[in-house]
Amino acid sequence: MKLELRGITKVFGTFVANDSIDLVVEPGQIHSLLGENGAGKSTLMNVLYGLYRPDGGQILLDEQPVRFGGPGDAMRAGIGMVHQHFMLVPPFTVAENVVLGHEPTSGGLLDLASARRTVREISSRFGFDLDPDAVVEDLPVGAQQRVEIIKALSRRAEILVLDEPTAVLTPHETDELMDIMRQLRDEGTSIVFITHKLREVKAVSDTITVIRRGKVVGTADPATDQTELASLMVGRAVELSLQKEAAEPGETALSVRGLGVTDPSGVTVLDDVDLDVASGEVLGIAGVQGNGQTELTEALLGLQKELRGSVRLDGKELVGRSTREILDAGVGFVPEDRTHDALVADFSVAENLVLDQHHRAPYGTGPVLHPRAVRERAVRDVAEYDVRTGSIDDPVSTLSGGNQQKVVMARALGRDLSLFIASQPTRGVDVGSIEFLHRRIIAERDKGTPVIIVSTELDEVIQLADRIAVMYRGGILGVVPADEDRDVLGLMMAGYTVEAAREAVAAGARTTDSQLVDEGEIA
């Protein structure tokens, strides 16, 4: 089926999310929609899927104009969507999730046998190994995504929209997904692939459309050079690789031994972690989301309750201390979720900048806050970090994601630190700000601070880290040098030990994008 969007416009308040976007997806094609976070890709697809009503423009399927009142209409017209945040009901089984909304019945009751058959049929066609009776919340994310794909296919989708599908996958799973996409394309399904990851776009697309600030800024074919695509996406020349000096690690400053965390239901979520970080080095922690990274950083900050083991910073034990004591010991922390854990949305930029220090000189004495000192700090940080804000008194929630992240970073780095921990330091941040934030992190390292960076983006870990630890199921699988083969890291993220991963790679296990690197296709 051929899909055409003509002049789609969507406005939220005064913000134009989609500004007269034109897009043509030919049948049997993988069409990538490339753009930064907040460029308007997801909005466009939600318009296509009937979740948002467009303020202007037209959707045409096989040259026929259509109007969608809701996702039901879009599905009936043959459009399927795999959402970035899965639209699966966690306590339902795979079969129940797949048939939800178009349930087969027999004699008034649900016909789950036929639902199971549907799941098995589509599973076997694509070589998925899915138990129709498995409960979705017990499945790993990769499998959940397959459930989403089956869900779309079981409704005979001819156009499949994949919204940032690789954000939650290991490199290996990403590769498998790309195979599935190619297989679907070859069977005649049109695919719209939304992403901000250049290497994936180059690996799988037939056509690329680049979107910036709600507008189509160009189309490209997959042979286009990666830096060129990035510049198109960001709107100016960007430096994709980070220039940094080699680390000059000093003495071991942080030493973690046997650190374990048990969650409230009695499950061990962090298991016997040993780590050493020297002053003046960056330890990168790689791993697929949800493998204990959150618990590790929170344990270091004293935010986890059921704690075992020991954490020594410059010889002082941190386990058993309160979070305030740990902060006072000079630990700077950037939590992974800035809106929930880092910022108070209704507080001003200035107030958010001193949240962790408000009780100490020069910002406060006893019960009194010193507004002038707070303002001075804010003015200084806003200038230094180039935070784009109308005023330091504006609520922090009015800032864009990238600028909010700069506030969080400025707060954590605004004093002398004995340890800096940043979790997902650039999640949802535009490419321009990423460059800046990365340079700040390296600058902190060069001041001699031990740094821990946790990121689920392997590229980011490789760029920043001097050594890389890979986390898998609550434990550290191994620590490798930063120049370790990318494929080895990818396999480790899937649970291979260092040795097994190296053997596998030596025996020729490569992922698509590293093959492309070999062929000189991408950087």
Partner 1 sequence: MTALDQSSPAAAPTPEPTRAGASGGAGERARRWWLLPTVLTALALIAVLVFGLLAPSDVQTAYRIAAPGDLNPGGIIPGDVPVPTKIAAIVLAVLALAVAVYLWVRAARGAMPRGRARVAVIVGFGVLWVLSFLTWAFKGATVDLGALLQTMMLLAVPLAFGALSGVLSERAGVINIAIEGQLLFGAFGAVLVGSVTGSAWAGLVAAPIMALVIGALLALFAIGYQVQQIIVGVVLNVFAIGLTSFFFGTVMKQNPGMFNQPLRLPTIRIPLLADIPIIGRVLFEQTVLVYLMWIIVAVLTVALFRTRWGLRVRAVGEHPRAADTVGIDVSRTRWSNVLLGSAVAGLGGATLTIGTGVAFGEEMSAGKGYIALAAMILGRYHPVGALLAALLFAFADALQLNLSSLPSGTGAGIPSQFLLMLPYIVTLFAVAGVVGRVRVPAADGVPYVKQ
Taking the least distance from each CB to partner 1, the nearer of 160 and 278 is 160
Estimate the crossing angle of helix 371-385 against helix 401-413, to 10 degrees: 120
Taking the least distance from each CB to partner 1, the nearer of 136 and 437 is 136
Total residues binding partner 1 (CB under 8 A): 69
Among 6, 117, 120, 510, binds partner 1 (CB under 8 A): 510
- Residue 355: CB minimum distance to partner 1, A: 28
Question: d(Cα 149, Cα 184) in Å, to the nearest integer?
Answer: 10
Residue 102, interface with partner 1 (CB under 8 A)? Answer: yes
- Residue 145: CB minimum distance to partner 1, A: 12
Taking the least distance from each CB to partner 1, the nearer of 110 and 238 is 110
Residue 165, interface with partner 1 (CB under 8 A)? Answer: no
Residue 167, interface with partner 1 (CB under 8 A)? Answer: no
Q: Taking Cα atoms as reference points, which of 3, 60, 65 lies closest to residue 30?
A: 3
Is the CB of residue 469 less than 8 Å from the CB of residue 296?
A: no
Q: Taking Cα atoms as reference points, which of 35, 412, 438 lies closest to residue 212?
A: 35
Is the CB of residue 19 less than 8 Å from the CB of residue 212?
A: no
Residue 52, interface with partner 1 (CB under 8 A)? Answer: yes
Residue 398, interface with partner 1 (CB under 8 A)? Answer: no
- Residue 287: CB minimum distance to partner 1, A: 9
Taking the least distance from each CB to partner 1, the nearer of 237 and 267 is 267
Residue 300, interface with partner 1 (CB under 8 A)? Answer: no
- Residue 278: CB minimum distance to partner 1, A: 28
Residue 497, interface with partner 1 (CB under 8 A)? Answer: yes
Question: d(Cα 284, Cα 458) in Å, to the nearest integer?
Answer: 9
Number of C-beta neighbours around residue 344 at 10 A: 12
Which two three-digit tokens encode residue 140? Answer: 């790993």
- Residue 193: CB minimum distance to partner 1, A: 18
Among 90, 250, 320, 362, binds partner 1 (CB under 8 A): 90
Among 140, 250, 258, 371, binds partner 1 (CB under 8 A): 140
- Residue 91: CB minimum distance to partner 1, A: 6
Which two three-digit tokens encode residue 439? Answer: 């340079």
Among 78, 214, 402, 474, binds partner 1 (CB under 8 A): 474
Question: d(Cα 474, Cα 293) in Å, to the nearest integer?
Answer: 8
Which two three-digit tokens encode residue 369? Answer: 């806050």
Taking the least distance from each CB to partner 1, the nearer of 87 and 443 is 87
Its sign, for the CA torsion 355, 356, 362, 367, is: positive
Alpha carbon 207 to its chain's center: 24
Taking the least distance from each CB to partner 1, the nearer of 268 and 323 is 268
Site for partner 1 in 254-273 (CB under 8 A): 262-263, 265-269, 271
- Give me the phi and psi of 69, to 5 degrees please: -85, -20
Taking the least distance from each CB to partner 1, the nearer of 88 and 122 is 88
Taking the least distance from each CB to partner 1, the nearer of 391 and 397 is 397
Residue 96, interface with partner 1 (CB under 8 A)? Answer: yes
Taking the least distance from each CB to partner 1, the nearer of 183 and 391 is 183
- Binding segment toward partner 1, per CB under 8 A, in 172-180, 276-284, 389-397, 398-406: 172-180
Q: Coil, helix or strand for 151?
A: helix
Residues 6+ apart with CB under 8 A from 48: 3, 5, 59, 68, 74, 79, 161, 192
Taking the least distance from each CB to partner 1, the nearer of 89 and 344 is 89
Which two three-digit tokens encode residue 109? Answer: 């009751």
**β-strands 467-472, 282-286: how paired?**
parallel
- Residue 157: CB minimum distance to partner 1, A: 12
CA torsion, ordered 295, 298, 300, 301, to nearest 10 deg? -170
Site for partner 1 in 8-47 (CB under 8 A): 46
- Residue 521: CB minimum distance to partner 1, A: 16
Write down the H helix ranges in 54-170.
71-76, 94-99, 112-126, 141-154
Is 33 exposed, middle or buried (CB count within 10 Å of its CB: 0-12, 13-18, 19+)? buried
Is 491 exposed, middle or buried (CB count within 10 Å of its CB: 0-12, 13-18, 19+)? buried
Among 81, 204, 286, 437, binds partner 1 (CB under 8 A): 81
Site for partner 1 in 302-321 (CB under 8 A): none
Taking the least distance from each CB to partner 1, the nearer of 42 and 463 is 42
Write down the H helix ranges in 223-360.
226-234, 293-300, 323-328, 349-353
Residue 501, interface with partner 1 (CB under 8 A)? Answer: yes
Residue 472, interface with partner 1 (CB under 8 A)? Answer: yes
Residue 414, interface with partner 1 (CB under 8 A)? Answer: no
Is the CB of residue 354 less than 8 Å from the CB of residue 429?
A: no
Residue 252, interface with partner 1 (CB under 8 A)? Answer: no
Instruction: Mark residue 7 as left, alpha or beta (left: phi above 0; alpha: psi -120 to 50; beta: remaining).
Output: left
Among 103, 225, 314, 376, binds partner 1 (CB under 8 A): 103
Among 18, 48, 78, 83, binds partner 1 (CB under 8 A): 83
Binding site for partner 1 (CB under 8 A): 46, 49, 51-52, 70-73, 75, 81, 83, 86-92, 96, 100-103, 105, 108-110, 138-140, 142-143, 151, 172, 175-176, 179, 262-263, 265-269, 271, 288, 290-292, 472-475, 491, 494-497, 500-501, 503-504, 507-512, 515
